[in-house]
Amino acid sequence: MSVKDESTKEITTLVESFGKQHLDDELTGYALKLCDTLSRKRNLNIARGKKEIWAAAIIYVIARMNFWPENSNCRERSQMS
């Protein structure tokens, strides 16, 4: 098993663990799919850097793309439209 594969496995475990505690199954699935997609990119080395940062970035991207958590400013803007 390569270093990249080991890092991917650890990041996937972190994402899955967080998803079970704080996200629904759909968002967890999206986060895991993004993790898998990033791990297959040749020009992106997911083995570099801290695994916790990679996992946090993946969760952050999925959460923001799905408007979670919504802050009060976002709700006010959507009501104005």
pTM: 0.79
Residue 58 · residue 34 · CB < 8 Å: yes
Instruction: Provide the 8-state DSSP code for 21.
Output: H
Residue 71: both structure tokens together: 């802050």
Residue 63 · residue 69 · CB < 8 Å: yes
Side chain identity at 32, as an amino acid letter? L
Maximum Cα–Cα distance for the chain, whole Å? 53
pLDDT score, position 26: 92
Burial, 55: exposed, middle or buried (Cβ in 10 Å; 0-12, 13-18, 19+)? buried
Q: What is the pLDDT of residues 3-23, one digit of tens each?
A: 989 999 999 999 999 999 998
pLDDT score, position 68: 63
pLDDT score, position 71: 58
pLDDT at 65 over 90: no
